[in-house]
């Protein structure tokens, strides 16, 4: 039976492959995507709210949040491995441009009509979406990592749900403001899901390996007859 932990990155990889193929081949999904993008850009979502969430994908906003979570994780962790979780998160964040930029250059998708004339091609996948998803997602993973008293299940659910809703807001804001097409956002979410899965695996792996199974207590030997 396939483990849910393996199913998530597999689904992200499959969806990213399908979306990339449709965008690169000008398939019917791309045509539907562009119609949806124009409809969302002209929707009634308030301009200021959309701009606020779109700005959360800027590195000037997302990276300081991740840096604060890295510092907090380092102080909460016990030596000698207190630097491992922050380093893993930093490396995960560094992989984002290494993955996004080559795909942007290879696909060279033009931006929505609202973009300034002469803007460079290369809008798929969305770098702002990937930056927000990985930065905020990695911050949540660091804060929930077992480096101190474990958070309650309710606190975990609230934190994870808040992170998901924030990233949904970033994606909607980028499309509403005409900075990206919807599939640009979806493709970035797929890449981010795979990266965050790898980060979660790195963070939880040492904990699992460090656990020892309790030895079974031996029954006292019965006296001989």
Mean pLDDT of 121-135: 96
Mean pLDDT of 198-217: 63
Average pLDDT over the chain, rounded to whole?
Answer: 87
Can you give the chain as a three-state secondary structure string? Answer: CCCHHHHHHHHHHHHHHHHHHHHHCCCHHHHHHHHHHHHHHCCCCCHHHHHHHHHCCCHHHHHHHHHHHHHHHHHHCCCCCCCHHHHHHHHHHHHHHHHHHHHHHHHCCCCCCCCCCCCCCCCCCCHHHHHHHHHHHHHHHHHHCCCCCCCCHHHHHHHHHHHHHHHHHHHHHHHHCCCCCHHHHHHHHHHHHHHHHHHHHHHHHHHHHHCCCCCCCCCCCCCCC
pLDDT band at residue 27 under the 50/70/90 scheme: very high
pLDDT band at residue 80 under the 50/70/90 scheme: low
Provide the pLDDT for residue 6.
79
Provide the pLDDT for residue 209.
44
Question: Is it the case that residue 223 has pLDDT exceeding 70?
Answer: no
pTM: 0.85
């Amino acid at each position: 039976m396939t483990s849910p932990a393996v199913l998530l990155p597999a689904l992200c990889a499959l969806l990213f492959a399908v979306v990339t193929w449709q965008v690169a081949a000008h398939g019917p999904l791309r045509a539907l995507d562009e119609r949806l993008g124009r409809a969302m850009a002209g929707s009634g979502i308030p301009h200021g709210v959309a701009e606020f969430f779109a700005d959360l994908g800027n590195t000037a906003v997302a990276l300081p949040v991740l840096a604060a979570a890295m510092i907090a994780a380092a102080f909460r962790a016990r030596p000698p491995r207190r630097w491992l979780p922050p380093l893993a998160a930093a490396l995960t964040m560094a992989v984002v441009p290494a993955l996004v930029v080559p795909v942007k250059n290879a696909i060279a998708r033009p931006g929505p009509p609202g973009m300034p004339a002469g803007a460079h091609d290369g809008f798929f996948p969305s770098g702002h979406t990937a930056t927000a998803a990985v930065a905020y997602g990695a911050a949540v993973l660091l804060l929930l990592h077992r480096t101190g008293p474990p958070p309650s299940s309710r606190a975990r659910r609230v934190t994870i749900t808040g992170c998901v809703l924030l990233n949904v807001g970033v994606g909607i804001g980028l499309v509403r403001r005409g900075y990206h097409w919807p599939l640009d956002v979806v493709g970035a979410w797929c890449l981010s899901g795979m990266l965050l899965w790898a980060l979660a695996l790195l963070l939880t792996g040492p904990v699992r390996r460090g656990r020892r199974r309790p030895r079974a207590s031996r029954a006292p030997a019965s006296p001989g007859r």
